[in-house]
Amino acid sequence: MPTVYLAAEQENVLRIHWDEFTFGLIAFLLILGVVYKMWPKLTKALDERADQIEGGIARAQKAEAEAEETRQQYREKLEEAHREYAQELEKAKEQRAAIIAEAREEAQVEARRIVEAAHAQIEADRQQTLVQLRSEIGALSTELASRIVGETLSDGAAQNRVIDRFLDELEQSGNTQQAEVR
């Protein structure tokens, strides 16, 4: 009967066969040996990776610090440039003011000089005109008088006196006329 056969075949499942135990031990020790043998390779790779990552972080921090330093320098330079620009601007303004003032002064001096020269010229012209007029008027008057009076007044000295007196009177009347015109 099959049931009897199966029951006979069944043995204690909690048995431990020593040969299987030995084989299991050998297998276990073999794998343990392989794992231990290969272990340093893996840990070495892991350590190297950790080193590289740490190195990378250190490099990145260094680069960051350098960048910050460069930025600081750049900022300082920029501020300095701004400062210099402002100074230059101030200086240029001052110079411009100075130049303008100088030019104005020069122009005034020049104008005054021209005006004075014109005045002098006018005065000179006037004097000349006066002298000329005086002599012409003298001559005209002499001629006139001689014509009126005749030959009597041919004496030079007396002639001059008469003319001068005549001119003085003329001048005085001219002055008063001028005053009235003004």
Partner 1 sequence: MGADVNVVAASESGCHIFGHGCGFEAPGVGLFSPTPWLDFGLPGAAGVNKYYLVAAVALIIAAAFWYFTTRRAKVVPGRGQSMAEMLVGFLRDQVTRTTMGKEGDRFLPLIVTLFLFIFCMNIMGLIPGLQLPVTTSLAFPAVLALFVFLLWNIVGIRRHGFGGHIKARLVPGGVPAWILPIVVPIEALSNFVIRPATHMIRLFATMFAGHLLLALFAAAGFYMFNPLSQMGALYGALSVGYSAIALVGFLVFTAFELFIMAVQAYVFVLLTSIYLGEAIEGAH
Residues within the interface to partner 1 (CB under 8 A): 2, 6, 9-11, 13-21, 23-25, 27-28, 30-32, 34-36, 38-39, 41-42, 44-46, 48-49, 52
**Which residue's CB is nearer to partner 1, number 8 or number 179?**
8
Give the torsion through C-alpha atoms of 150, 151, 156, 161, to 10 deg. -30
CB of 29 to partner 1, least distance (A): 9
CB of 68 to partner 1, least distance (A): 30
**Which residue's CB is nearer to partner 1, number 23 or number 85?**
23
Tell me the three state secondary structure of residue 156.
helix
Cα–Cα dist 71/65, whole Å: 10
How many CB atoms lie under 10 A from the CB of residue 167?
16
**Which residue's CB is nearer to partner 1, number 44 or number 77?**
44
CB of 63 to partner 1, least distance (A): 22
Q: What is the DSSP string of 96-132?
A: HHHHHHHHHHHHHHHHHHHHHHHHHHHHHHHHHHHHH
**Which residue's CB is nearer to partner 1, number 15 or number 182?**
15
**Which residue's CB is nearer to partner 1, number 39 or number 74?**
39
**Token pair of 84 as six digits:** 């210099």
**Token pair of 163 as six digits:** 């003319």
CB of 58 to partner 1, least distance (A): 17
Q: What is the DSSP letter of 17?
A: -
CB of 14 to partner 1, least distance (A): 6
